[in-house]
Structure 1
Amino acid sequence: MTDITAPAAVLVHEQPYPHAFTRGEVGWLPWLEPLAVDELSERHYDGLVDRARATSDYFRLLARDPEILRARTLVDKDIFYNTSQGLPRAERELAATAASRVNGCVFCASVHARFAAHYSKAPDLIDGLLDEGIDAELGSRWDAIVDAAAALTATPPAFDLPHVRRLREAGLSELEIADVVHSAAFFNWANRLMLTIGRPVAAPDEQL
């Protein structure tokens, strides 16, 4: 007797794509099926780290491999939340926004642009980065951070001694420069993950 296996579910998405980078609440839809909330075990919740993340399709999809998700989440949290020393939170978020802008990850750019605008109290500058791209003029310190993040995102060897010198001249310490690298490098990878396993959905105000 032939063993017939049911085909995997095909997810069909008809919601509109975003038409531009924005600080608005961009949505995201997975190409692969996330775990259902009622399928989550304590092993999955351990991987999520924050139980509240179970409401997210993205994190429930990554929870299919909870050990990898846990490692990813702890690195993410340490880079962006552990700000007792080194780069201020706003500038870590700025580096992540710049990387996401270069990679074309509208969802990640929206999230980190909101954080950068909130912590810096400079939403107009963040909107300039979203609207104009990495050539926007944001001031010498921020321009140096964006330039370094963009170089790392294009290809790691493009980040070299002139970028380090420019960051030092802009007033960044060695630890702060390392934080720029951590923030941009992490989101260079995270963008590629998010862009591969799903796609963004236009913010509600774009769908009116």
Structure 2
Amino acid sequence: MADQIITDRIIATPVEKPPVVFTQDEIGWTPWIAPLGEEELSERHYVGLVEEARAKSPYFRLLARDPEVLEARTRADKDIFYNTRTGLPRAERELAATAASRLNGCIFCASVHSRFASHHSKRKADVQRLLDEGLEVDLGERWNAIVAASAALTATPANFDRAHIDRLKAAGLDELEIADVIHAAAFFNWANRLMLSLGEPTATR
């Protein structure tokens, strides 16, 4: 692979065979704007990262250029997906994120959150069908309702209406669980578009 060229923080990196299909495999991500190097991270940046291990990620080191915004983003992310003492099970929060990522065409985010959805639900084949066949696939009414609501929010919030809430309730979700569907889908609708504007998925080496 040719050497990376960096000019005024812009990176031009020739990519060999980037992923072009949705997958549950681990893939990489390459930024188009130079992230901070690990050696450049200050205490302020580490506060923004929230978890020290995230310093290994070029995506989070790129977002660390604005550490206060990154901290708010990361704490919202962690609360939506990891605070599962009540509300929607983790698997279905990840399902909502996967559906949003599938609709937005974010191959990297879909790979991450489909793996989480598979791990927590033990329904890897169904999650793969969502990736392969799209959002109209029949996964059983509870999952169908979550996917439909997530897709409506992702396309445009105005597409999400009372009919989606009624369908979620009919599928057995209570109000707190419905709120978790909305939060997970809305967060990744935004996160996908940020990631898609800053870089591209790459094959792992």
So what's the TM-score if we normalise by structure 1? 0.93
Number of equivalences: 199
Q: 1:12 corresponds to which residue? A: 12
SS at match of 1:11: strand
1:135 aligns with 2:126: no
Give, in angstroms, the shift of residue 13 of structure 1.
Answer: 1.9
Q: 2:76 corresponds to which residue? A: 75
CA contact (8 A) 1:26 1:110 kept: yes
- Cα distance in 2 for partners of 1:89, 1:105 equals 20
- Cα distance in 1 for partners of 2:164, 2:204 equals 35
CA contact (8 A) 1:24 1:203 kept: no
Give, in angstroms, the shift of residue 7 of structure 1.
Answer: 5.0
Give, in angstroms, the shift of residue 17 of structure 1.
Answer: 1.7
Unaligned runs of 5+ in 1: 1-5
Residue-by-residue CA offset, 1:11-44 (whole Å, 9 max, x unaligned):
2222222120000111100010100000000000
Q: 2:85 corresponds to which residue? A: 84
**Which 4+ runs in 1 deviate beyond 6 A?**
none
- Cα distance in 2 for partners of 1:157, 1:172 equals 21
- Cα distance in 2 for partners of 1:181, 1:33 equals 33
- Cα distance in 2 for partners of 1:9, 1:34 equals 8
Q: 2:171 corresponds to which residue? A: 170
Q: 2:64 corresponds to which residue? A: 63
Matches within 5 A, 1:19-58: 19-58=20-59
Unaligned runs of 5+ in 2: 1-5
Residue-by-residue CA offset, 1:128-179 (whole Å, 9 max, x unaligned):
0000110111000000000000000000010001100000000000000000
SS at match of 1:162: helix
CA contact (8 A) 1:145 1:167 kept: yes
- Cα distance in 1 for partners of 2:140, 2:13 equals 40
- Cα distance in 2 for partners of 1:93, 1:72 equals 17
- Cα distance in 1 for partners of 2:185, 2:44 equals 30
Give, in angstroms, the shift of residue 52 of structure 1.
Answer: 0.4
Letter in 2 for 1:12: A
Aligned CA RMSD, in angstroms, stands at: 1.2
Matches within 5 A, 1:57-206: 57-203=58-204
CA contact (8 A) 1:19 1:202 kept: no
